[in-house]
Amino acid sequence: MYTFPIQTVAERTGLSAHAIRAWERRYGAIAPARSPGRHRMYSEADLHRLNLLAEACRTGRQISALAKMSNEHLLLLLGRAPSPTAVEGGAFSREAGDGAFCTQVLEAVRRLDTLSLDDVLQRAQVSLGDQGLLRRVITPMAREFGMLWRTGQITAAQEHFFSAMAKVFIWNMTRQYRPDARAPKMVVGTPVGQHHEIGARIVSAVAANHGWNVTYVGASLPAFELAGAVQASGASALVLSIVFPQDDPTLPLELEKLGQLLPQNIQVLVGGQASVAYLPALESMGARVLGSLDDLDSELDSMRRQPRSR
């Protein structure tokens, strides 16, 4: 593997050496190797990521938000789909998959084999536990199938087949957590035009496991419906999943309207692969955009310890 000193990287990315070091130290955007003399040495992968980050920054976005995104996320933000080779190789973004189970899930879905898929998911649940199944199989495979569908490598029927089966398992996980009646309340759904809801269901299961009282309201809801659900349930938080598409011209207006309708003390969290495409609208309404389930874990725990004003 070839490595390069920081001066070469600066020339090939158009970034200053100071910026490259700052992106590493402050934001963890990359993690270069060190030479025996403790000098930073950068790989081709580091160069590729820095070029993506630099290009995304030139669109007016902040490195503090971009540094948390996977390369796949950045490519989608820039309007370029990840390569089919990366998808076929099992690039599961920030959530690492369990190779054996994920391969078996892929094979079952390609055959539209209900019994085989049910069997694989059950065995994964026994072997990995609820959270292992959710984070190491269902979450990475949901990303994988979305990418395979967008690049024409599986059909919509195959993608929907996996989603339908996965939702059953996620729902069973969510309902088994019975929080105290005094637990904080949360509404989870997707905004209007966002019909892919498996990400929202995953969030519901994670939040329930953290002790939240979760009200799942479904997919593609207009701003007034989401705000009404928050009000009716007495929730202190609203979580939205934005997966596809990333170029809906009406969604920023819906998000702006939602921000106006929600009470000022409501925490708004947003995740999903397409969420970065709507950063200006999300930031203007005071929403926090999360890049992974680890980010969600931290935010949920933080919100329970010390609720913040929006």
**Cβ contacts of 253 within 8 Å, gap of 6 or more:** none
Residue 293 has pLDDT above 80, yes or no: yes
More confident residue, 307 or 162: 162
pLDDT at 34: 84
pTM higher than 0.75 for the full model?
no
Q: Rounded distance, CA 219 to CA 44, Å?
A: 40
pLDDT tens-digit map of 89-136:
332 233 445 678 888 999 999 999 999 999 999 999 999 999 899 989
Structural domains in the chain? 3-67 (1.10.1660.10), 86-173 (1.10.1240.10), 178-305 (3.40.50.280)
Percent of the chain whose pLDDT exceeds 70: 91
| Helix or strand holding residue 5 (H, E) | none
3-state SS class at 84? helix
pLDDT confidence of 2, banded at 50, 70, 90? Answer: low
- Which range, of 12-21, 88-97, 248-257, 270-279, averages the lowest pLDDT? 88-97
Interval 187-220: pLDDT, tens? 999 999 999 999 999 999 999 988 999 999 999 9
Neighbour-count burial for 62-71, b at 16+ CB within 10 Å, e otherwise: ebebbbbbbb
Peptide bond into 245 cis (omega under 30): yes
Q: Chain-wide mean pLDDT for the chain? A: 86
| 221-231 pLDDT, tens digit each | 999 999 999 99
pLDDT of 30-84, one tens digit each? 988 888 788 888 888 889 899 999 998 888 888 988 887 778 778 777 776 554 4
Element (DSSP H or E) covering residue 267: strand 267-271
